[in-house]
Structure 1
Amino acid sequence: MPAAEDPGRARERIAAELGRVRERSLGLTVESLDESELLAQHSPLMSPLVWDLAHVGNYEEQWLVRAAAGQEALRPDIDILYDAFENPRSSRVDLPLLTPTEAREYNSRVRSRVLDSLERAPLDSGGEGLLDGGFVYHMVIQHEHQHDETMLATHQLRHGDPALPGVDARPPAVQVPPGPSEVRIEAGPFTMGTTTDPWAYDNERPAHTVHLPAYWIDSHAVTNAAHMAFIADGGYEDPRWWSQEGWEWRTRSGKRAPAFWFRDGDRWLRRRFGRVEPVPPDEPVQHVCYYEAEAHAHWAGKRLPTEAEWEKAARHDPRTGASHRFPWGASEPGPEHANLGQRLLTPAPAGAFPAGDAPTGARQLLGDVWEWTATEFAGYPGFRAFPYREYSQVFFDAGYRVLRGGSWATHPTSVRSTFRNWDYPVRRQIFSGFRCARDADPV
C-alpha cells in the first residue's frame, strides 16, 4: 500500500492531481470541439460531452464542497440534471444542460471553493471517514478521470475529422524478448482485494484470502492477428464456440468483427478517432464484447480467466506470498511500466513494457486494454458500501461482467491490481480486450 503521507504533502499532491485531471477534461471538450459538437449526442450509448463536463463539476461540488467541507451549495438546482441514475444517457441530450461556457465557469467556481477548503481539511483524522487519508479527494479525482475515459469512448463513436492531438502518432516499435505464450500459476492461497489502500473503492474491499487450483494464463492479451485468425476460421459463424446467450447476441446483432473494423479487399482496416488505418496485427485486440472474448477463448481451446485468477496473476509473488499494489511492486506507474493515461491513443504492441511484468511472468496486466473476466460483478465477503450505494452495490448480481487492468485511456491514479471495472457483456464501445486461461493438469 502507499505509505501514509504528511498532510501538507498530501494537500500538495491532491491539488496537483485535481489540476491535471481538469486539464485533461478541458482538452477532451472545450479545447478540442466546438459548441455544436459538445452539445450533440454522438451515440445513444453515450452522453453529450457537455453533460460529462458539467457532471464532473457537480460531483465535485457535492462531495468536496458540501459533504467534505460542509459549505453551502452553489447550484443545487442542477443536481437533478447531472444525476446519472435519474437520467439515462440516451435522454440527456434533451435536458436543459449548461452550455460549454457555463459548464466551464461553474466548474471553475467549484474548484476555487475546493482548493480553498483543502488548505484546512484534516486529512490525518484517522478512522474511516471521508477525509481519512484524503479518501474523498481521491474518489473525486478518479471519478473525473473515469469520465475522461468515457469521453474518449464518445470521441471514438463520433464521426468526422480527427479532433484529438496525437491521433497520428504510432507506438514505438517493440523488440519483444522471447518468452512463453502463457505462464503457470501454482495452486495455493493469495490475498485478494485491499483493506488499507487509501485510493481503493468500496468494491475493492476488504482484503480476503482466496484459494485457487493451479492454472495457466496467457502472458499477454490476445492480439489483433490472433483474432483475425479466429475470424478467418469462421469463428463468428460457428455456434460451437459461443454460449447460448453469446450466440443469440451474435445472431441478433449481425456482428462479424470487433467494433470499428471493416474489410478492404483482403485487408482489415479500422476507424480510430476519425482516422482510417490498417489494423495493426501486433496490438491487443480492442472493442470486443464479453461474448466475442468468450467465443475466441473456446475456439483456442481455453477459457476466460476468473477475476480471482486474473488478480493472482497480476499481483501475487510466489516467492514471498505477498500481494503487490501493482504487478511490478509498490512504485507508482511510470511510462516504462505500462501504456496508461492517454499517452498513446491506441494499445501498444503485445509484449511491451517488460519493466511492468508481474512476478508470475505475466505481462501488460495494466494498461492497453481492459480485460474481460468470467466473473459476474458482486461484493466481496464483508463488503460495506462507502460512501454511497450507487457507486458499486446497486450493480451487484445484475449480469455485469468484471473487467480488469485498465486501458491506454485509463489514468494511473485510477488503476491498480485490485481495481474492478464492470459492464454489460454486450458492450463494445469501451476499450476492452481479453487474455485466455486454462486449467492446469495435476502435477
Structure 2
Amino acid sequence: MKLIKDLQKGTYLLLMIVALVVISCSKNDNNSIDTESPILATITKIETTAFDTTTITWDLTTDGQTDAEELTYQLLWQMRGSSEVKNSGTPKALFSTYKLTGLTEKTTYRVWVKVWDKAGNTTEYPAQEFTTPAKPINPTGLDTTNYIQLTTEKKVGEIISFFIDGDKIDKKGFWIDFNNNGKWDEGIDVLPKFEGYLDYTLKSQTFRIYGKVIELFCEYLELTDLNISHNPFLRKLLVENNKLPSIKNLEHITALSLDSHTMLNSTLPTNLSFLDITETTAIPVFDVKAFTNLKELLINRCKSIHSLDLSQNPQLVRLEINNTNITTLDLSKQPNLAILHASEAPLTSINIQENTKLYWVLLELTKDGKGLMGTALLDFIKALPTNKVGAVANIKLSPAQQTDVVKSLLQSKHWGIY
C-alpha cells in the first residue's frame, strides 16, 4: 500500500513537472524574438513649391507583429555629390509628409524613408530623386518703353530662334515678354544671353522684345506682323522668309533683308547701306537709284530682275546677283567694289574698267551654259586689277570657262581659280 502511494506521488510530481515545462514552452512561443521587418512601401509625391522648398509624401506601411500606429518613420535626404545625409529628426509614428526647406537651387537631391517596428527592425523605401529649379531672378532696371512686337503663325510650344543685339550699356534692360503683358513674369519671360541665335519656346503667338535693340535677325519665323514703331534705335533688320505683308516705320533702318512681297508694300528708307532681297513674288521694276549710300546689294535668285542700273550707287563695295536674269552690268561708277558674285546669270558683258579693288569674283555659267564665255570672258579678265605676288584674289569659274588661255591670263594677273 505504501509503495503504491509513493508511486502515485512520484507520478503526480512527474506530471506536474511536464505541465510546467509545457506551460513554459508555450510562454516562450508567445514571446519569441521579432526579426520581421516592416513591409516595403513607397514615396508617393514630390512637390517642389519654390527653388528652395520641396514637400515629400509617402505611404504608411504595416508590420507582422507591431501595430501600424506604433511604427515610426524618418525621412532622409542627400545632395548629389555630397556624402552628408540629413534627416527629419527623431522617428515618429503616423508620420507621412515632410517639407524640406533651405535647399540649393538647380541641385539634384536623393530622398528615401526609413521605418522602424517596436523590435527595432527597419525597412528603407526605394530612393527617389528630384532637382530644384533656379532661383527667381526678379530683375531690376528692365526697359519698359522701347520694344518690338512680333506676331507669328507658329504654334505655342514650338521652338523659335532669333538674334538680337545692342549697345553694351543698354543690354541690362533687354528682356523678352513672351506673354505680351508689359510686365516681368518669372518662368515665362526671358533675359537674353547675347550669344548669337538662341532658341526659345513660344509661349504666345504675339510677343515683345524690350530694350534698345539695334540689331534684330528674325528670319524663318512665319511672322505675319512686325511692329518696330516703338523702337527708334533699330538699325539692322533681317526678316526674310516670313509672311509679312508690309513693314512700317523703317526710316531708321540702315541694313535691311526682306522678302520681295514685303518690299513691294513697304516704304524703304533711302539711307540704306545694306539691302538683301529674297524673291517671293515677281519684282516688276527694281530701282535702287534712291539708295545713294548703298554699300552692299544682294539680289540672289531674283529671277524677275533682268536689268540693274547702279549709276547712282557709287559707294558699292559688295554686289551679289547670282541666279538673276541680268544680261549686262555696268560697274564703272563703283570704284570701291571689292566683291562681285554673278554666278548663274546669263551675262553677256560686264564693265569693270574702274574696279581696281576687286579681289573676289564668282562668275559661273547657268545650268544651260549661259554666261560670260570666249571674248567677253577674256575682256572681263583683262580688266581685272593686277595683284602683287602673294596677294589674295580669286575667281570662281565653271569648267567650260577654264580654258588654257583663261588660266594663263589669270595667272599673269596673280588671280587664283577655285
Same-fold call, TM cutoff 0.5: no
TM-score (norm 2): 0.20
TM-score of the pair, normalised by structure 1: 0.19
Larger-gyration structure (1/2):
2
